[in-house]
Amino acid sequence: MGLVVQKYGGSSVADAEGIKRVAKRIVEAKKNGNQVVVIVSAMGDTTDELIDLAEQVSPMPAGREFDMLLTAGERISMALLAMAIKNLGHEAQSFTGSQAGVITDSVHNKARIIDVTPGRIRESIDQGNIAIVAGFQGVSADKKDITTLGRGGSDTTAVALAAALDAEVCEIYTDVDGVFTADPRVVKKARKIDWISFEDMLELAASGSKVLLHRCVEYARRYNIPIHVRSSFSGLQGTWVSSKPIEQGDKKVEQAIISGVAHDTSEAKITVVGVPDKPGEAAAIFRAIADAEINIDMVVQNVSAASTGLTDISFTLPKTEGRKAIDALERNRGGIGFDSLRYDDQIGKISLVGAGMKTNPGVTADFFTALSDAGVNIELISTSEIRISVVTRKDDVAEAVRAVHTAFGLDSDTDEAVVYGGTGR
Ligand code: ADP
Ligand code: ASP
Ligand code: MG
């Protein structure tokens, strides 16, 4: 008997009909002779609605209470899903993240899983139940407070439980047929990828392809858990994310030169204006940001004007951390020394990802040519071995993604990508 771990995202359980549809699918897996553990997200846009609600009562809610609120979303869907399964004549039990043994550090709103002790889940499935686990949440090791894993965190819960339960595969069910060469909501001609390496998927996820969360892919790579991303609305094969290419019939799927184009409009840019151009200044700025537990993405420092000896330093960070970062810098203004701060949340990032970049020197030039042909102005650039990213105006992002997708020959000449549900929020 195999053990199957399945995760269903919010758009797959957006309403009562969705929950009943998913329940049938889960029961099928059980009837095929498997032990089944299901991780479920909050219904539809529930998490966003809870965040809006919190902001109405407090502009900067305390992390502990914020997490307590957000985890309620997953508790609703886990209980409803267990009820729907029981209604189909099968035994199911729901568990919170804490009950399922998801132990985290105590960084509220973006806690990291440090251990998984799924004794109760094992016991439940050994008794013949289908176990339903609330995604995106855990309990902190030290204070025993409820934590959340960051937006999209149910993906990480799923892989972490798959690893702890020694499952062969972790199935991620969502509202598109797999991982595509670009977001199908933006590029209708995006192509479904049959297989992608952990490395390329990590870069896509880190660059904003929210179909899988970055931390989930990191976790899967560390424990070598293959992920199968597929639609909960169709019966099609999806995308395999794993260390080795899959076989299709008698042929191996090849590693693509370019895996895809990712975009991200969830970041903002802060410019620290008028920083003295002397050693230790960048260190002081980023120490203040790090002490506030804020992760930054790209950094650039301008050449200083010789006459003033002052320079500007810009960096990007999640918009959700914008206010906290500005507060942290203002608090340390005396120690750092700068003239002013500029905050810009009208930016977007476009990234091209592919292992083939290492050996194809023309890729960077072609990327910039495609952007310039589309009339897109570049504000920041960063690269890794297998990725190039640029920051542009937010309004240019969709056009830029399509232009780059076409320029690299990624457009599908047969099918249009299907988006089955979700609001794209
Ligand atoms: P879920 O609620 O199932 O977790 P998400 O909204 O988090 O779903 O992720 C699925 C969405 O990810 C898709 O609807 C799609 O708009 C978006 N997406 C972004 N980039 C990609 C990509 N490269 N391939 C597939 N989907 C993508
Ligand atoms: N419900 C959470 C969110 O919307 C977690 C998840 O869906 O994975 O971010
Ligand atoms: Mg998601």
Q: Which helix (H) or strand (E) holds 317?
A: strand 310-318
Atom of ligand 2 nearest to the CA of 10: 7
CA distance linking residue 117 with residue 403, whole number of Å: 47
| Beta carbons of 320 and 375 less than 8 angstroms apart | no
| Beta carbons of 169 and 162 less than 8 angstroms apart | yes
The confidence score (pLDDT) of residue 247 equals: 78
Range of the domain at 73: 3-254
| Beta carbons of 45 and 76 less than 8 angstroms apart | no
| Domain-embedded: residue 156 | yes
| Domain-embedded: residue 422 | no
Asked if residue 305 has pLDDT above 90, the reply is: no
| Domain-embedded: residue 69 | yes
- Provide mean pLDDT across the span 148-170: 96
Number of neighbours of residue 68 by Cβ within 10 angstroms: 16
| Domain-embedded: residue 140 | yes
| Domain-embedded: residue 35 | yes
- Provide mean pLDDT across the span 292-311: 86
| Domain-embedded: residue 111 | yes
Atom of ligand 2 nearest to the CA of 157: 8
CA distance linking residue 46 with residue 169, whole number of Å: 28
Domain CATH code at residue 9 = 3.40.1160.10
Reported residue count of the chain is 425
Closest ligand relative to 425 C-alpha: 1
10 Å CB burial of residue 364 (0-12, 13-18, 19+) is middle
Q: Which helix (H) or strand (E) holds 270?
A: strand 267-276
pLDDT in tens, 227-266: 999 999 999 999 999 998 877 777 777 777 899 999 999 9
Residue nearest (by alpha carbon) to ligand 1 atom 15: 183
Could you tell me which residues come within 8 angstroms of residue 30 by beta carbon, excluding any fewer than 6 positions away? 36, 90, 130
Atom of ligand 2 nearest to the CA of 149: 5
Name the nearest CA neighbour of 189 among 414, 424, 422: 414
Instruction: Give, for ligand 2, the residue of 67, 151, 266 to mutate: max count of ligand atoms closer than 8 Å to Cβ.
Output: 151
pLDDT in tens, 42-74: 999 999 999 999 999 998 788 999 999 999 999
Report residue 233 as tokens.
């609305």
Query: In DSSP terms, which residues pair with 301 in a beta bridge?
Result: 313
pLDDT in tens, 264-289: 999 999 999 999 988 899 999 999 99
CA distance linking residue 67 with residue 335, whole number of Å: 33
The confidence score (pLDDT) of residue 207 equals: 96
Could you tell me which residues come within 8 angstroms of residue 55 by beta carbon, excluding any fewer than 6 positions away? 61
- Provide mean pLDDT across the span 169-175: 96
Residue 183 Cα to ligand 3 midpoint, Å, equals: 13
CA distance linking residue 258 with residue 111, whole number of Å: 32
**Residue 419 carries which DSSP code?**
B
Instruction: Give, for ligand 1, the residue of 174, 258, 266 to mutate: max count of ligand atoms closer than 8 Å to Cβ.
Output: 174
Residue 210 Cα to ligand 3 midpoint, Å, equals: 6
- Confidence class for position 422, pLDDT limits 50, 70, 90: confident
Residue 271 Cα to ligand 3 midpoint, Å, equals: 31
When the pLDDT of each residue in the chain is averaged and rounded to a whole number, the result is 94
The confidence score (pLDDT) of residue 251 equals: 73
- Planar angle of CA 79, 82, 88, nearest 5 degrees: 145
Asked if residue 131 has pLDDT above 80, the reply is: yes
Three-state DSSP at 27 gives helix
Sign of CA dihedral 312, 317, 320, 324: negative
The confidence score (pLDDT) of residue 143 equals: 96
Closest ligand relative to 410 C-alpha: 1
| Domain-embedded: residue 345 | no
Domain count, the chain: 1
- Provide mean pLDDT across the span 364-370: 95
The confidence score (pLDDT) of residue 253 equals: 75
Residue nearest (by alpha carbon) to ligand 2 atom 6: 152
Q: What does pTM read for this prediction?
A: 0.93
Of all residues in the chain, what percent carry a pLDDT higher than 90?
87
| Domain-embedded: residue 38 | yes
Closest ligand relative to 45 C-alpha: 2
Ordered DSSP codes for 197-237: EHHHHHHHHHTT-TTS-HHHHHHHHHHT--EEEEESSS---
420 lines ligand 1 (CB under 6 A): no
| Higher pLDDT, residue 278 or 27 | 27
Instruction: Give, for ligand 2, the residue of 39, 52, 96, 136 to mutate: max count of ligand atoms closer than 8 Å to Cβ.
Output: 136
CA distance linking residue 206 with residue 221, whole number of Å: 14
Helices and strands (DSSP H and E) totals, the chain: 12, 22
45: alpha, beta or left, given left = phi > 0 and alpha = psi -120 to 50? alpha
CA distance linking residue 378 with residue 74, whole number of Å: 40
